[in-house]
Structure 1
Amino acid sequence: MPTDDVPALLKGLNRQQIVMRRHPGRYLTAVVLHLSDIHIRSDKDWILDKGSSIAACVFSSLPDATTVFVIVSGDIAFSGKPTQYAAAEGLFIAVRSAIQTEK
């Protein structure tokens, strides 16, 4: 089948159906990395340089993963200051980058 036909073939399908069409007979395996209540106070918080270590928690599951979810619940910033969210964003980027590099 020409690759031009793939978008038309997948039109109207949900994500799970698309993955199953692209990987027939393969089970969907989601990996979930859940962070909660990290309460970033400043760009000096101890956790901010731990992105690679946090991501490493899921490395052993990545070979079989079809999807990786990083879920952050609870309070991200200590008091809601934009600088606290900016610092947290750096952590999240580091986690994502480490997972993408490992995958």
Structure 2
Amino acid sequence: MSFNTAGNWNQSPDNLVVNVSTAYLDANQEKDFSAGVNAIWQRIGLGYIFAVNDIKQYKPTTSTDNLDSEDSLGKGKYKIYTVNASYLIPNVMDMDNFNIYLGSY
């Protein structure tokens, strides 16, 4: 879903554009949910994403998968919070619709 201050679907950089999204996965031994919102105004974007993962069973695909690592998302319940920001560089090399977003999270 998207909304901007001009009241139409044109995503002009002069308007405030707000996007809202959600997703749900109900798979075998795993349930995931995420919801997010982001806004873009005057080439600057700011967003927030919330996710909940419930992994009941994890089977490593290779012998190098290390479930003891702190970076590993093995079996368990996880809540993940992400804030992101971006800046639009439009029409790179004077090409229409060839844009680059510089961002961080």
Q: TM-score, normalised by structure 1?
A: 0.25
Considering fraction of residues, name the structure with more strand: 2
Considering fraction of residues, name the structure with more helix: 1
Report 1 or 2 for greater relative contact order, CA contacts < 8 Å, sequence distance ≥ 6: 1
Q: TM-score, normalised by structure 2?
A: 0.25
